[in-house]
Amino acid sequence: MSQQPNPDTEDIKLHVKPGKTRAPFFRYIRINLPRLTKAAILVIVALIGGCAWAVLSSGFDIFAGSDIALGLVIALAAIFLVLGLVTKWRIWGFGAVVAAAGILVYFGGLFGHAPFVGNGAGVYLAAGWNTMFFASLAYCVIYWALNYGVLVAYPDTQGFED
């Protein structure tokens, strides 16, 4: 019994727009390392949650309600990690919620009293604050690559036959 190929990931000719001779550049890049991609996603979300925890435990007052916002980021990251480690569900959309929450808290800090060295925070606290933001941006890039077909995460594969 032959299984039909997935046209979104295996037939590049479907992505050639009318009047063009080639598909968009990123449609030609395929990285088929599903278990490594899932591990990298879990590490990035753990980094977001860990940095949020470090900032929260420092006691630095960022903005009104920052304790609740950082706690929410930590809780969302913990839920994502547990689900990602024990299930085979495709939970990458939920990880985008974690990343969006991290970015939102970061921008809330920019309008408040963000823990930068110039604002009286220590170097390690400022590094943790910025790392939370950049890890959230990294997750957004990986999530885009998953949806575009550049990357694949376990339990999916791209069905390569080589």
pLDDT tens-place string over residues 61-99: 999 999 999 999 999 999 999 999 999 999 999 999 999
Q: Is the pLDDT of residue 116 over 50?
A: yes
Q: What confidence category does residue 1 fall into, taking pLDDT thresholds of 50, 70 and 90?
A: very low
3-class secondary structure, 151: strand
Matching residue, tokens 């080589």: 162
Which H or E run contains 39?
Answer: helix 34-58
Instruction: List pLDDT tens digits, range 19-57.
Output: 777 777 777 777 788 889 999 999 999 999 999 999 999
So where are the chain's domains?
A: 30-148
